[in-house]
Amino acid sequence: MAQIELSDIERVFKLGDSEVHALHAVTVAIEAGEYVAVMGPSGSGKSTLLNLLGLLDRPNGGTYRLEGRDVTTLTADEQAEVRRNRIGFVFQSFHLVPRLTAAENIALPLMLAGVPLAERAPRVAEALKNFGLDTRADHRPDELSGGQRQRVAIARATIMRPAMILADEPTGNLDRATGQDVTALLESLNASGVTLIVVTHDPVMGGRARRRLMMEDGALVADLRADAASTP
């Protein structure tokens, strides 16, 4: 049983009178620990697919089994619980809460999960250390560089030790060097066993993934696997 099993997923948006098929008959299975890049031109449905995988959106048809459980029929609160415990998000624009410090931003998922304050502090401190942010703990996002911001976001995405990380253009707002740092960081997480699914335009970044899902007009057009360990 694969970690993620999508079968015949349909997602239709209504724009005025016309209907847009954002996703059409998408069927794919992703094993735990895989490193997948979702690629394709804009409007091809990459982000919609990622939102569906992250349970932020519901399909109009088809089934989504996450770890063997059909999650499309869950209530909103049940889905929130799955997101909280199994899924970490990394966004292109970081999405840090501007008034909270780096440490507080990282602690947000723990707070939402109701983890006691005393237990939070050591976990956040450890995460700050692991991501090289220990000197930045009390800085607000506007006092951090782009790379630091994304590292805070990744620390936040991993603090609950999720089964998978969904990253939407994680390097899109970063320069090349910091982008590579962030990519390496994500890959090291993947190496520790977390499923990593990255949506990207960037063929270089896409090329590093062991598996590439190519999308076009809402359909999966190619499922490429690198046989050997990917080129650096």
Partner 1 sequence: MTPADTLRFATRAATGYPLRTALMVLAMSIGVAAVVVLTALGDGARRYVVNEFSALGSNLIIVLPGRSETGGVGLGSLFTSTPRDLTVRDAAALLRAPDVQRITPLTLGNSEIAYGGRLREVLVLGTSADYLGIRGYRMALGRFLPREDLERASSVAVLGATLRDELFGIEPAVGRMIRIGDRRLRVIGVLEKSGQGLGMNTDELVVVPVATAQAMFNTNTLFRVMVEARSRDALASAQRQVEDIMRTRRDGELDITVITQDAVLGTFDRILGALTFAVAGIAAISLAVAGILVMNVMLVAVTQRTAEIGLLKALGATGRNIRLAFLAEAALLSLAGALAGLALGHLGAWGLRLAFPVLPAWPPDWAVYAGLGTAIVTGVLFGVMPARRAARLDPVQALAKR
Point out which residues bind partner 1 (CB under 8 A).
51, 54, 56-57, 76-77, 80-85, 89, 91, 93, 95, 97-100, 104, 108-109, 111-114, 116-117, 156, 160
**What's the rounded Cα separation, in Å, for the pair 79 and 54?**
9
**What's the rounded Cα separation, in Å, for the pair 7 and 198?**
20
Minimum Å gap between C-beta 219 and partner 1 is 20
Q: Which is nearer to partner 1, 44 or 51 (CB)?
A: 51
Minimum Å gap between C-beta 161 and partner 1 is 13
Minimum Å gap between C-beta 157 and partner 1 is 9
Q: Which is nearer to partner 1, 54 or 179 (CB)?
A: 54
Six-digit token string for 108: 């947000």
Q: Which residue has the tokens 């046989």?
A: 227
Q: Which is nearer to partner 1, 83 or 151 (CB)?
A: 83
Within 10 A of 69 (CB to CB), how many other CB atoms are there?
A: 10
Cβ pair 92, 170 in contact under 8 A: yes
Minimum Å gap between C-beta 164 and partner 1 is 13
Q: Which is nearer to partner 1, 112 or 224 (CB)?
A: 112
Rounded to whole angstroms, the maximal C-alpha distance in the chain is 54
Pairing relationship of beta strands 4-15 and 211-216 according to DSSP bridges: unpaired
